[in-house]
């Protein structure tokens, strides 16, 4: 079996990266992490990768004159590893349309909300402040619209009385670590594709929230 090569982009702690590293450790998992690239030096996600002998690179966005220049170098750095799939795992950068288009249909992101609710930052706080009963997480294909690409899979997390941003984020992360390896597996097995702007799972177009896994 030829494994799907993935490049993971991070900016921080990399707990989703860890979930993918752990998944890839199973012999029958159909993907392998070719490299991990961070736009921030010294983050723990880099250590996690190095602990597992995975190639890492740092491209510090502050060293570039603008978004176009950074994204052009990032694309070169990614493509040097010939990935089949690019996985954004807590990568805190807005990407240019040209970059996103280059990876259209082969780039996934995980976002801690039930998209289309709460694109952007501070999703947990916004769900609590809105008095929502449920929150959650979405894996989606990346398109030029921020957090706006077709959803692949969602997990729901009920809010609890007294939830803070931290307690809620912690429970959402538990679900993130389950659904991201699952979405990557589907992609690697050829069961998940982006076609004419829609996500398809096993040949069927997915509903707006993608597959609801709980
Ligand atoms: C996660 O909540 C993810 O959904 C969001 O950024 C966070 C990254 O966490 N995009 P980690 O670095 O994977 O621990």
pLDDT tens for each residue of 100-111: 999 999 999 999
**pLDDT tens digit sequence for 1-47:** 799 999 999 999 999 999 999 999 999 999 999 999 999 999 999 99
Residue 1: predicted pLDDT: 79
CA-CA distance, 193 to 105, in Å (whole number)?
7
In degrees and rounded to multiples of 5, residue 32 shows phi and psi of -135, 140
pLDDT of residue 196 exceeding 90, the answer is yes
Atom of ligand 1 nearest to the CA of 17: 13
- Could you count the other beta carbons within 10 Å of the beta carbon of residue 14? 23
Q: Is the pLDDT of residue 90 over 90?
A: yes
- Res 192: pLDDT: 98
Where in the chain does DSSP place strands (E)?
A: 4-10, 31-38, 56-58, 85-88, 107-111, 134-141, 151-158, 192-195, 198-201, 204-205, 211-212
pLDDT average, residue stretch 127-140: 98
Residue 121 has pLDDT above 90, yes or no: yes
Average pLDDT over residues 183-200: 98
For residue 91, the ligand 1 atom closest to its alpha carbon is: 10
φ/ψ of residue 109, rounded to 5: -135, 155
Indicate the pLDDT class of residue 164, thresholds 50, 70 and 90.
very high
Average pLDDT, the chain: 97
Ligand 1 centroid from CA 56, angstroms: 18
Structure tokens at 121: 């930052």
Report the side by side order of strands in the sheet with 204-205: 192-195, 198-201, 204-205
Residue 186 has pLDDT above 90, yes or no: yes
Active-site entry in 52, 81, 102, 111: 111
Residue 111 annotated among the catalytic residues of the structure: yes
Q: Mean pLDDT throughout 132-151?
A: 97
Cβ 136 under 6 angstroms from ligand 1: no
């Amino acid at each position: 079996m030829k494994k799907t090569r993935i490049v993971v982009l991070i900016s921080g702690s990399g707990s989703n990266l860890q979930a993918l590293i752990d998944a890839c450790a199973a012999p029958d998992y159909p993907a392998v992490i070719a490299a991990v690239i961070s736009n921030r030096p010294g983050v723990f996600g880099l250590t996690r990768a190095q602990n597992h002998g995975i190639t890492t690179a740092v491209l510090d966005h502050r060293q570039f004159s603008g978004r176009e220049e950074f994204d052009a170098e990032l694309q070169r750095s990614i493509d040097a590893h010939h990935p089949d799939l690019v996985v954004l795992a807590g990568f805190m950068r807005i990407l240019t349309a040209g970059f996103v288009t280059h990876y259209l249909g082969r780039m996934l992101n995980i976002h801690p909300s039930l998209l289309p609710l709460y694109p952007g930052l501070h999703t947990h706080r916004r769900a609590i402040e809105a008095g929502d009963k449920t929150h959650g997480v979405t894996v989606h294909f990346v398109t030029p619209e921020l957090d706006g690409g077709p959803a692949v899979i969602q997990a729901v997390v009920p809010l609890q009385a007294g939830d803070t941003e931290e307690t809620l984020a912690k429970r959402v992360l538990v679900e993130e670590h389950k659904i991201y390896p699952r979405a990557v597996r589907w992609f690697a097995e050829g069961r998940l594709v982006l076609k004419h702007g829609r996500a398809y799972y096993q040949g069927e177009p997915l509903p707006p929230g993608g597959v609801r896994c709980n």
